[in-house]
Amino acid sequence: MTTTSSRGQGEVSALERALGKARWRIIPLLAICYLVAYMDRANISFAAETMNRDLHFSPSVYGLGAGLFFLSYALCEIPSNWMMLRFGARRWLARIMLTWGLLAGAMMLVHTPWSFYAMRLLLGVAEAGFFPGVIFYLSTWFPVEQRARAISQFYIAFPLSNLVMGAAAGVLLRLDGRMGLKGWQWLFLVEAAPAVVLSFVLWFALPDGSATAGWLSLEERAAVTAACGDGDSVETSGLWEGLRNMRVWLLAGMFCCSMAAYYALVFSLPQVLRQVTGWDAGRVGYLIAGMGVAGAAAMLIVAIFSDRSKKRVRYTLPAFTLMGGMVLAAGLAVSSSKAWAGWGAALALLGVLVVYYGVQGPMQALMSEVEEGPARAVAIAAINMFAIFGGFVGPYWMGWMRELTGGYGPGIAALGGVYLLAFVFLWGYSVVERRRI
């Protein structure tokens, strides 16, 4: 008995040592990469006002171009994760970063609606698979009871990107006219450069999995493999099983709705906040950056409680109810002529950001836990494909509604129904999950 107990304690110790090393060597690098990725896909929200004016783009042209990124991204999600299984995480993620960095910088060359559409489509193809690939990759390193925290430590780059993007946008847009470039061209060019540099860092620093991590001992590698499986394996038997899983499609519907609502807001948020507060682009950028910090803190705190309880749905369902109520109130306030309504709308919209960021730990953990083995990679990609499709619909919806109604209020208010639909999908998932158990 003593020998068995000592061996069990040794295995736990080896696993904890391995995961501690992974948290420092893998998660910060991937988080920085995702921060850059999000900046390169969303920085057009800060470029929009001056770019649209210089290039004579209408709201519907801007909304369609913003959304086309997500259409091509969604269509390439499953093929990208399959390719990552074949070529390994190191090669594939480095390739993604290099191509998207080059194309993100080339956004400075757009000059017509069709060139804008083409560049956004190509950028989506280039970046496709990075996020679901990382979620799958982390699931091969961290067991279920620590997964929400690991994912949130990576995904903290999501809200913090608003801090960096908001602060950088204020500086870069002021370079208007330098070296013959517009401020929005400087924004695209400078914010694309880190992706190219980081592609080489990934190539040399990221292991394909625990079995090839030179900084782990043999005992530590064995402990990670026992807890999570072989992350280096390219075995693809049962790869498509996840597509026959009803829970996968219910989560896909939930993520599609939540992402549609989020991107409908985020691509219009700087312009809406300028309208309702009367502040300039720089001050609005700092305001959004502050909410990014608050959202990052909320994300880490909620992930800790989610891992302790392992009740992912318990934290996510109330969040959808709260966000639905806040966007409805914000939409009505934006349309109101009352003096206090502007700042009321601003606070409600910024509150939606904080709640959305805060609940990402349990949401993404749900995605990573819905399947096992190679089927998990395809399941994650399928769910994210529909999530990203929501990212295409959201901005286009907001641009169309703005042209139809002459303002942002009705489009924002209607997002309350989208959050209600996300609630229904997640409730359906919880019912199926309880019956399965």
Give tens-digit pLDDT for 408-424.
Answer: 888 889 999 999 999 99
According to the per-residue pLDDT averaged within each range, which of 80-84, 256-260, 373-377, 430-434 is highest?
256-260
Amino acid at the residue 336: S
- Per-residue pLDDT reduced to its tens digit, 252-281: 999 999 989 998 888 788 888 888 887 876
Give me 410's structure tokens: 């009705």
Task: Determine if the pTM surpasses 0.85.
Answer: no
Cα–Cα distance measured from residue 311 to residue 248, given in angstroms and rounded to the nearest whole number: 17
Mean pLDDT of 210-235: 76
Largest CA distance in the chain: 77
8-230+240-436 CATH fold:
Growth Hormone; Chain: A; (1.20.1250)
pLDDT value of residue 437? 59
Q: What average pLDDT does the chain have?
A: 83
Q: Are 228 and 359 in contact (CB under 8 A)?
A: no
- Beta-carbon neighbour count of residue 431 at 10 Å? 11
Domain ranges within the chain, ordered by starting residue: 8-230+240-436
Between CA 229 and CA 238 the distance in angstroms is 15
pLDDT of residue 4: 38
Which range is least confidently modeled, 234-243, 258-267, 373-382? Answer: 234-243
DSSP state letter for 236: -
pLDDT digits (tens, 9 = 90+) for 154-175: 888 877 776 777 677 777 878 8
